[in-house]
């Protein structure tokens, strides 16, 4: 997709939402979001249920396109180009901006094939064994599975499955990894492993994570965006700041009330 | 209302901090009164009672650590609790100054000395008054009041200079009292430092209110510390 790759990217933002409104049919789910995501940093999106944080996350790689009633106003700029422009290929967008879901969802195939399949579909022509090893190494899973690559991925533990899904995302060489509650189905140790992995990955990738777990946002992210919903139930972004600032000295009372557990 | 448990425990910690503050204020006033009366027995009591101040400080510190580890406070709650850790440290150190004054009184015994008691008493009164209002500002998070208190330190510094000059003159006219006169200077030094520590306390009130950690200016130069 030349439209997205030809622009030299000198600014430090990996992706930017400008005046974004998101609708499902007549319901406005998210109102007027302006959010500049820093490159190779971890940005957490927090907020109460129904505030539109997952909707915003999905807008970043056009995952909402699968919802027939979905409509978007505004722009999401990636390499200076609105990813919703008619000449943009959403499949390529999803390759460059990958997503890891709440529940680990490996294919019911071997560990090896889970990595290789996506790369093959995307036309990968290099050494597949090397790609599989490199992706599993980056996802901090290689040491645990290197002797069992032919084993069915569904036999792995939940935490290992989630790291496999991260490896699968990395294998198609994205620039941005979106994570939608990636640890909500995992135990605390597996959760901490994912958080450490996110930290390692952030030297090469931009990560945006939606999480209900505020301690996770505080522990694992560099920047935090707090969303809430207004009386018409439309989600709005209340505050966006460096994580350590937002959790020690939030500027808005709504943020203070939410993060200190006095919401509602 | 959510977070009742956290609210209740923070209030308890603040109450205990106020109580610690009263104990420290009383210790300073008692120490200077014992000096005025040259009451060695009262000084011994003050010396021993410092243990209760230390115990209270550690009990508060422990309660704060438990709350941080079990309730994961953030934002304003976290600023209050970390400020309490700093404030209790300052209070405990002021308690040590009272203990230091008591130690000097015990050491001097009934030795006759030209002690500038009026200035020393005034230093204690101003310092304790500053401390009392600083604690009130801390508990009520009154940043404006906290910002005004440190400048009162100027009077304490001036009184210290008067005590210093008075004792130096006394030492020149009677070199045999040099050792004991130095101990009196030590008392004045402790009272001067008490007022300085009140400034640190006021800084924490501003921190709770604004989230900014900043040094508050006083005319005092602490470079001799």
* CA-to-CA separations, B44 to A115, B39, B67, in angstroms, rounded: 77, 9, 36
DSSP state of A63: G
* CA-to-CA separations, A22 to A33, A234, A236, B193, in angstroms, rounded: 9, 9, 11, 60
Question: Which residues does chain B have within 8 Å of residue A259's beta carbon, measured at their own beta carbons?
Answer: 74-75
Residue of A215, A262, A263, A264 to mutate, interface with B, max B Cβ within 10 Å: A262
Across the range B146-170, mean pLDDT stands at 96
Per-residue pLDDT at A7 exceeds 70 = no
Burial of residue A195 (number of CB atoms within 10 Å: 0-12, 13-18, 19+): middle
Range of the domain at A203: 2-259
ipTM of the complex: 0.76
- At residue B218 the predicted structure's pLDDT band, cuts being 50, 70 and 90, is low
Residue A15 bridge partners (DSSP): A37
In contact, A98 and A180? CB cutoff 8 Å: no
Q: Is residue A227 part of a domain?
A: yes
Q: Is residue B86 part of a domain?
A: yes
Question: Which residues does chain A have within 8 Å of residue B79's beta carbon, measured at their own beta carbons?
Answer: 248-249
Residue of B71, B74, B210 to mutate, interface with A, max A Cβ within 10 Å: B74
Mark yes or no for CB contact A260/B79 under 8 Å: no
- At residue B3 the predicted structure's pLDDT band, cuts being 50, 70 and 90, is confident
What percent of chain A stands above pLDDT 90?
Answer: 89
Q: Is residue B225 part of a domain?
A: no
Q: Is residue A264 part of a domain?
A: no
DSSP state of B177: G
Mark yes or no for CB contact A248/B75 under 8 Å: yes
Work out whether the CA dihedral A137, A142, A143, A146 comes out positive or negative. negative
Q: Is residue B223 part of a domain?
A: no
Per-residue pLDDT at B224 exceeds 50 = no
The pLDDT assigned to B219 comes to: 55
Mark yes or no for CB contact A259/B74 under 8 Å: yes
Q: Is residue B31 part of a domain?
A: yes
> 3-class DSSP state for residue A223?
strand
- At residue B44 the predicted structure's pLDDT band, cuts being 50, 70 and 90, is very high
In contact, A27 and A52? CB cutoff 8 Å: no
Task: Tell me the shortest Cα–Cα distance from B35 to chain A, in angstroms.
Answer: 45
pLDDT 10s digits, B49-59:
999 999 999 99
**Count of the separate structural domains present in chain B:** 1
Per-residue pLDDT at B222 exceeds 70 = no
Q: At A148, which CATH number?
A: 3.40.50.300
In angstroms and rounded to an integer, the radius of gyration of the C-alpha atoms of chain B is 19
pLDDT 10s digits, A230-258:
998 999 999 999 999 999 999 999 999 99
Query: Which of A162, A156, A8, A37 is closest to A100 using CA atoms?
Result: A162
**Count of the separate structural domains present in chain A:** 1
d(CA A246, CA A71): 31
Residue A110 bridge partners (DSSP): A152
Mark yes or no for CB contact A249/B75 under 8 Å: yes
d(CA A164, CA A193): 13
Per-residue pLDDT at A11 exceeds 80 = no
Mark yes or no for CB contact A214/B74 under 8 Å: yes
Q: Is residue A228 part of a domain?
A: yes
Q: Is residue A96 part of a domain?
A: yes
Pairing of strands A235-242, A97-100: unpaired
Q: Is residue A118 part of a domain?
A: yes
The secondary structure of B142-179 as a DSSP string is -HHHHHHGGGGHHHHHHHHHHHHHHHHHHHHH-GGGHH
pLDDT 10s digits, B116-146:
999 999 999 999 999 999 999 999 999 999 9
Per-residue pLDDT at B223 exceeds 60 = no
| All residues at 6 or more sequence positions from B152 whose CB lies less than 8 Å from its CB, including other chains | B126, B129, B130, B195
Residue A22 bridge partners (DSSP): A30, A72
pLDDT 10s digits, B67-115:
998 899 999 999 999 999 999 999 999 999 999 999 999 999 998 899 9
The pLDDT assigned to A123 comes to: 87
Range of the domain at B28: 4-210
Q: At B134, which CATH number?
A: 1.20.58.220
d(CA B127, CA A128): 76
pLDDT 10s digits, A150-182:
999 999 999 999 999 999 999 999 999 999 999
Residue of B71, B76, B82, B141 to mutate, interface with A, max A Cβ within 10 Å: B76
Across the range A121-142, mean pLDDT stands at 94
H or E stretch at A22? strand A13-24
Q: Where are the alpha helices (DSSP H) in A86-126?
A: 90-96, 111-121
Q: Is residue A152 part of a domain?
A: yes
Residue A165 bridge partners (DSSP): none
Question: Which residues does chain B have within 8 Å of residue A215's beta carbon, measured at their own beta carbons?
Answer: 72
* CA-to-CA separations, B61 to A135, B48, B199, in angstroms, rounded: 47, 21, 21
Count the Cβ atoms, other than its own, within 10 Å of residue B66.
Answer: 12
- Residue indicated by tokens 């009520």: B140
| All residues at 6 or more sequence positions from B11 whose CB lies less than 8 Å from its CB, including other chains | none
Across the range A34-47, mean pLDDT stands at 97
Task: Tell me the shortest Cα–Cα distance from A194 to chain B, in angstroms.
Answer: 21
Across the range B208-223, mean pLDDT stands at 73
Q: Is residue B165 part of a domain?
A: yes
Question: Which residues does chain A have within 8 Å of residue B74's beta carbon, measured at their own beta carbons?
Answer: 214, 218, 247-248, 259-260
């Amino acid at each position: 997709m030349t439209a997205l790759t030809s622009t030299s990217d000198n600014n430090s933002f990996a992706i930017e939402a400008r005046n974004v409104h998101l609708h499902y049919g007549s319901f406005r789910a998210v109102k007027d979001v302006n959010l500049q995501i820093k490159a190779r940093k971890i940005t957490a999106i927090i907020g109460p249920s129904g505030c539109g944080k997952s909707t915003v996350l999905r807008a970043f790689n056009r995952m909402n396109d699968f919802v027939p009633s979905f409509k978007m106003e505004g722009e999401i700029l990636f390499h200076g180009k609105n990813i919703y422009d008619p000449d943009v290929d959403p499949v390529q967008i999803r390759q460059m901006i990958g997503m890891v879901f709440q529940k680990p969802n490996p294919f019911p195939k071997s560990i090896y094939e889970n990595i290789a399949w996506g790369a093959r579909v995307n036309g990968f022509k290099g050494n597949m064994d090397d790609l599989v090893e490199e992706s599993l190494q980056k996802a901090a899973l290689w040491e645990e599975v290197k002797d069992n690559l032919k084993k069915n991925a569904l036999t792995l533990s939940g935490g290992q499955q989630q790291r496999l899904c991260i490896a699968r995302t990395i294998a198609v060489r994205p620039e941005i990894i979106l994570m939608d509650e990636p640890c909500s189905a995992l135990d605390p140790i597996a959760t901490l492993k994912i958080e450490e992995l996110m930290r390692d990955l952030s030297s090469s990738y931009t990560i945006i994570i939606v999480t209900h777990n505020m301690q996770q946002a505080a522990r694992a992210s560099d920047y935090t965006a707090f969303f809430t919903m207004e009386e018409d139930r439309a989600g709005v972004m209340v505050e966006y700041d460096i994580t350590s600032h937002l959790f020690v000295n939030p500027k808005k009372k709504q943020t203070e009330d939410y993060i200190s557990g006095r919401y509602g | 209302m959510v977070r009742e448990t956290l609210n209740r425990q923070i209030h308890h910690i603040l109450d205990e901090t106020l109580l610690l503050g009263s104990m420290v204020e009383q210790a300073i006033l008692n120490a200077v009164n014992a000096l005025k009366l040259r009451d060695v027995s009262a000084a011994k009591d003050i010396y021993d009672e410092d243990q209760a101040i230390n115990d209270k400080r550690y009990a508060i510190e422990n309660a704060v650590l438990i709350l941080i580890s079990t309730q994961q406070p953030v934002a304003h709650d976290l600023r209050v609790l970390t400020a309490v850790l700093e404030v209790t440290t300052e209070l405990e150190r002021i308690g040590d100054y009272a203990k230091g004054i008591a130690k000097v009184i015990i050491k001097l015994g009934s030795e006759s000395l030209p002690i500038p008691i009026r200035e020393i008493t005034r230093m204690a009164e101003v310092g304790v008054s500053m401390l009392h209002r600083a604690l009130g500002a801390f508990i009520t998070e009154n940043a404006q009041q906290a910002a005004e208190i440190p400048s009162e330190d100027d009077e304490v510094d001036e009184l210290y200079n008067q005590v210093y000059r008075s004792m130096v003159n006394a030492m020149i006219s009677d070199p045999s009292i040099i050792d004991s006169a130095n101990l009196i200077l030590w008392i004045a030094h402790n009272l001067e430092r008490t007022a300085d520590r009140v400034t640190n306390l006021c800084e924490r009130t501003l921190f709770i209110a604004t989230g900014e950690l900043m040094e508050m200016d006083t005319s005092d130069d602490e470079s001799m510390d």
